């Protein structure tokens, strides 16, 4: 089933000057939802019900996120990328380095935390976002 929707969210975390690790990726394309971690596919699902997921992303305002967020900081670096297409001429691409919408540190962003929760809910039992969600637990 190809509903025309496309979604891809990836992030990687590294401590400078070490090389970045393989990104963690969740994507939905051509009716298939999949997740990758450490370069390995950890799950694949055919034709998941995505309607509530798309609605929640709209409710958070993800479609209005800016294209680029950057905050220089020494030490631990978080890089995330989000790409979406609704299958009807609406698409977006956004990337952040140590920051997230609305341009604040990742751990200060309510919208980014809500976004991670929605993606984490979609992924289900696969714990792909423990690094990012962990920074909100302090």
| Segment-wise mean pLDDT, segments of 10 residues, the chain, 138 residues | 79 71 87 89 88 92 94 79 89 91 83 89 75 60
For the chain, what is the domain count? Answer: 1
Q: 36 in a domain, yes or no?
A: yes
Structural domain boundaries enclosing 10: 6-134
Q: What is the CATH number of the domain that holds 12?
A: 3.30.1560
pLDDT of residue 89: 81
Strands 6-15 and 76-85: antiparallel
In a domain, 1, yes or no: no
Q: Do residues 50 and 28 touch, judged by C-beta distance below 8 A? A: yes
């Amino acid at each position: 089933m190809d509903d025309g929707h496309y979604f891809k969210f990836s992030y990687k975390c590294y401590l400078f000057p070490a090389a970045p690790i393989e990104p963690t990726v969740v994507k939905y394309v051509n009716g298939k939802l999949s997740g990758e971690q450490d370069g390995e596919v950890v799950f694949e699902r055919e034709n998941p019900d995505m309607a509530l997921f798309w609605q929640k992303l709209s409710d958070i305002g993800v479609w209005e996120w800016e294209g680029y967020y950057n905050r220089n900081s020494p030490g631990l670096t978080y890089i995330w990328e989000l790409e979406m297409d609704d299958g009807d001429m609406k698409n977006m691409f956004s990337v952040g380095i140590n920051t997230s919408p609305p341009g604040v540190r990742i751990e200060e962003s309510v919208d980014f935390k809500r976004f991670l929760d929605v993606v984490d809910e979609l992924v289900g039992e696969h714990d792909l976002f423990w690094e990012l969600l962990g920074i909100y637990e302090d």
